[in-house]
Amino acid sequence: MKKSYRVAVVGATGAVGQVLLSILQERGFPVSELLLFASKRSQGKEIIWQEQLIPCRVLEPHCFNGVDFAFFDASDAVSKEWVPQAAQAGAWVIDNSATFRMHEDVLLLVPEVNGFLLHEKIQRFAQNAMHSKDRIVSGPNCSTVQMVLVLKVLEEFWGLKRVIVSTYQSTSGAGAEAVNELRQQTQDDLRGHSLTSHVFHYPIAFNCIPQIGEFQSNGYTSEECKMITESRKILRKSDLKITATAIRVPSILSHAESINVELEKSFDLSEIRKKFSEQEGILVLDDTSKNLYPMAIQARGQDAVYVGRIRRDESAENSLNLWVVSDNLRKGAALNAVQIGEEILSALSDLHGIV
């Protein structure tokens, strides 16, 4: 097994891509050479990584030859065209787009929740031939990641009966341009100028928009549908009763979620807090006597999924209210992707072998 790897990042100039580059460095992902890809408009733009200036390239045939790991953080369309080519060229592909998430053969991973599936899959390759599509692993939607980490604990110890979630999602969840739009509109509004919107359907400054993604025939948005279908897949509970309302709010970073959960069994609140505290990736911040609860300003730049306002829902049996906050660019996307890369390395090293 190699000691370091040729790594490609597609979407290196974007909101997720930029954070991914820092996390690769922070966590010491074993990179021997880094290849950066972005759109034509960034061609030749140099990005500093580990004191080297690395130029951005455009995607072209054979550009993944010799690449061991390819992180895709561009768009659904880019992933649809190029992810299969990267896998065909022999790379492990960690894709943050929605394109392959619900494919039956593709793992949709939050390592703390279902990372073991990757180990099982890679173990099976010891017996059977590996197809290129087996090298594709998807990362979930950002609002799904933080929710399933919390739901996993509740499902494991109490059983989930029904989940009702409402989100308060930051503009960076819609990419770097969306953050620029919020900043510009905020300045324009304060100066009394009229506001123009390109990324969102309506001005986001000083507003909340009850639409993330496009509306589906059932009245839900695509973001809400992703939260529902992806959670069922990750928790391996296809009959999970879950409903979601996704709202865009005028913050820059971190998503918050109000989650109401009905459990199968009765519970003790202190036991719920204890089990959350013991779960890798979760930090409990919940002391109402000190006005302590998670907010976007705590979560930004942090790895943890923060949980607070843990309280009984007094209107229904065995029910619980939670407030869950996490940095959408880190655990919601880039950190989760790098953790998947680390999980692949660990599974391969268990096999003594193959990349």
Ligand X SMILES: NC(=O)c1ccc[n+]([C@@H]2O[C@H](COP(=O)([O-])OP(=O)(O)OC[C@H]3O[C@@H](n4cnc5c(N)ncnc54)[C@H](OP(=O)(O)O)[C@@H]3O)[C@@H](O)[C@H]2O)c1
What residue ranges bind ligand X (CB under 6 A)? Answer: 10-17, 37-39, 41-42, 59, 73-75, 78, 96-97, 141-142, 172-173, 175-177, 328-329, 332-333
Measured from the CB atom, is 1 or 58 closer to ligand X?
Answer: 58
Q: Which residue is nearest to ligand X (CB)?
A: 14
For residue 47, give the 3-state DSSP assignment: strand
- Please tell me the distance from the alpha carbon of residue 234 to that of residue 231, in angstroms, as a whole number: 5
**Cβ atoms < 10 Å from Cβ of 239:** 5
Sort strands 69-72 and 92-95 into parallel, antiparallel or unpaired.
parallel
Could you give the maximum distance between any two Cα atoms of the chain, in Å? Answer: 67
CB of 154 to ligand X, least distance (A): 23
Q: Would you tell me how many other CB atoms lie within 10 Å of the CB of residue 169?
A: 24
Told to judge if 255 belongs to the known catalytic residues of this protein, a careful annotator would answer: yes
Nearer to ligand X, 95 or 286 (CB): 95
N-to-C CA span, the chain: 7
Q: Which residue type does 28 have?
A: G
Q: How many CB atoms lie within 10 A of CB 157?
A: 14
**Residue 173 or residue 203: which is nearer to ligand X going by CB?**
173
Nearer to ligand X, 263 or 337 (CB): 337
Q: With beta carbons less than 8 A apart as the criterion, state whether 78 and 11 touch.
A: yes
Owner of token pair 């309302």: 245
Residues 244 and 166: their CA atoms lie apart, in Å, by 6
Nearer to ligand X, 29 or 37 (CB): 37
CA distance 277 to 230: 24
User: What is the number of other CB atoms lying within 10 angstroms of the CB of residue 346?
Assistant: 14
* Alpha-carbon span 200 to 171, nearest angstrom: 9
Residue with smaller CB distance to ligand X, 41 or 62 = 41
**Structural Rg of the chain based on CA atoms:** 21
Q: Is 193 a catalytic residue?
A: no
Q: In the complex, what is the shortest distance from the CB of residue 80 to ligand X, in angstroms, rounded to a whole number? A: 11
Candidate list 119, 131, 255, 352, residue with the active-site label: 255
- As measured in angstroms, the least distance from the Cβ of 139 to ligand X is 7
Task: Tell me the catalytic residues.
Answer: 142, 255
